[in-house]
Amino acid sequence: MTSVIDKYKRKKKENQAANNANSSSTDVGVIRIGHYILNETLGTGSFGKVKKAYHQLTRHTVAIKIVNRTKIKQLDVVGKIRREIQNLRLFRHPHIIKLYQVISTPTDIFMVMEYVSGGELFDYIVKKGKLSEAEARPFFQQIISGVDYCHRHMVVHRDLKPENLLLDDASHVKIADFGRLNILIGDL
C-alpha cells in the first residue's frame, strides 16, 4: 500500500516536470519552448526557421515556426506576421495548415503549427517526374478548395508555389507559409 508520503513525493515530481516544461531548457542539448521539445530544423526562411517538435506530455508532433523579432522589424513586416497569425488562428480547412498556438518571447515568436510529414509538393514532383492527369487532378482540387476558402475569407496567399504546398502522409495537400498574405477589401 502506498503511503501518503510516497503519493506526496510522486505528485511533487510530476509538478516539477510540468514546471520544467514551461520554461526554456536547463538540460544540456534539449531546447524547450513551453511544453514543446524542439528537434531538427525542417527549413529556413528570411524571418527565421521551422523546427520539428513534440509536446512533452502528449507526444504530439508539431512544426514550430520561429520568427525573430529583430529581423521582422528590420524588414518592416511586423504587420504581415501579425495578420498571418490572426488569419491562421481563424482558418479551419482540411487543406490549410493549422496554427495551434503562439508563444511569444522578447526575442522570438513561436508559431506552433500542424506537422505535415509528407514534405513539399515540389519534392514529390521532382521525385516522380511528370505526373499524369489522374495523379495531378486531386492535388489541383485540394489546392483550389484551400485557395477558394482563403478568398471567401478575403485573404490572398500571394506566394502559392509547390514549395509552399505540403503533403501529409496520405498525400493530401496543405497550403502553408502565409507570410506574404494580403487582406482584400471589397468584392473578389
Q: Which residues are designated catalytic?
A: 159
Beta partners for 49?
44, 66
The distance of Cα 150 from the centroid of its chain, to the nearest Å, equals 17
Distance CA 115, CA 14 (A): 27
Distance CA 33, CA 31 (A): 7
Q: Quick one: which of 153, 177, 182 has its CA closest to 46?
A: 177
Q: Quick one: which of 97, 89, 101, 81 has its CA closest to 146?
A: 97
Cell numbers for 179? 507570410
Residue 164: DSSP 8-state? G
Instruction: Evaluate whether 81 touches 97 at the Cβ level (below 8 Å).
Output: no
